[in-house]
Amino acid sequence: MAPRTRSRPAVGSFPSTRLVNSDVEELYDYGVLRTLEEATMFVVRLGQPTLILGGSQHRDVLDLEAVGSVALRRRRGGGGLVLLQPDDLWVDWWIPAGDPRWSHDVHVSSVRAGSWWRDELRDVVGGEIKVHEGPMEGEASHRVICFAGIGPGEVFVDDRKAVGVTQWRVREGIFVSTVMHGHGSGDVVRFLRDAPEGIASSLDHQTITSLALADPERLVQNMAASSGPWQVRQLYLTA
């Protein structure tokens, strides 16, 4: 699936044509996604910083003056606001119903995705690496930002979050989305209309830089091989 450039942002050939709340474009064309019959791993790159709202969030959580011309999209599934940058590692998986990696259990699906990251990180970074196998944790008001909370399947290195995980489930399959930031993501706070007290300190997380991850591309390749088989698609989100 070849990426394409168009006036409306697209992820690969999944054009973001559908609108939510009549004002925020969806990240993927989820209707197209649901038709995929083959298990697919998407490795996504960005052309510019992009704010992504969680599936249940409205743009009224944002300071629109601060957002300005920053690209704004919405994903389906749980989680809060995330600011994605061109140097982030963004990996998504579509797992059709009937695939051996599909599970009816939301918790199991997230933890399994986190374990794919953990198994590869063990070979390339130091420190204690864990996958959170419990329920949602953290200050409820802080969950307005994805990386300020703790959710099932999320990966921690030395007790600091390294990989965020969200999930969207439909009859046809499961879509699990994961990201490791290239650098700190504290800038996302300035886009909130009303930032909860203490939320900035909740965003002290690991990054590609802090983990001294020398070859992120190789890590993704190894993860594709060890968790596969997948159809692997390299996609590009354009402005």
User: Domain boundaries in the chain?
Assistant: 10-237
* Tokens 């203490």 sit on residue: 198
Whether pLDDT at 70 is above 90: yes
Query: Which one is predicted more confidently, 239 or 38?
Result: 38
Start-to-end CA distance of the chain, whole Å, equals 19
Whether pLDDT at 18 is above 80: no
Contact 175, 168 (CB under 8 A): yes
Q: Other C-beta atoms within 10 Å of 52: how many?
A: 24
> What torsion, rounded to 10 degrees, do the Cα atoms 4, 179, 216, 128 define?
-170
User: What single DSSP character describes residue 124?
Assistant: T
Pairing of β 82-84 and β 50-53: antiparallel
As a whole number of angstroms, the distance between CA 216 and CA 87 comes to: 10
- What is the topology classification, in CATH, of domain 10-237? BirA Bifunctional Protein; domain 2 (3.30.930)
Q: What is the pLDDT of residues 165-221, one digit of tens each?
A: 999 999 999 999 999 999 999 999 999 999 999 999 999 999 999 999 999 999 999
Pairing of β 231-237 and β 40-46: parallel
b vs e for 172-189, b when ≥16 Cβ sit within 10 Å of the residue's Cβ? bbbbbbbbbbbeebbebb
Whether pLDDT at 10 is above 90: no
- Rounded to the nearest integer, the mean pLDDT of the chain is 90
Q: What is the pLDDT of residues 127-159, one digit of tens each?
A: 999 999 999 998 999 999 999 999 999 999 999
As a whole number of angstroms, the distance between CA 204 and CA 212 comes to: 16
Whether pLDDT at 31 is above 70: yes
Which stretch of DSSP H or E encloses residue 217? helix 216-227
Contact 87, 110 (CB under 8 A): no
| Alpha helix positions (H), 106-170 | 106-121
> What torsion, rounded to 10 degrees, do the Cα atoms 88, 55, 20, 49 define?
-20
* Average pLDDT of the residues in 78-106: 96
User: What single DSSP character describes residue 23?
Assistant: T
* Average pLDDT of the residues in 156-163: 98
pLDDT value at residue 239: 60
Q: Is 85 helix (H, G, I), strand (E, B) or coil?
A: coil
Q: pTM here?
A: 0.89
Q: At what angle do helices 106-121 and 216-227 cross, to 10 degrees?
A: 130
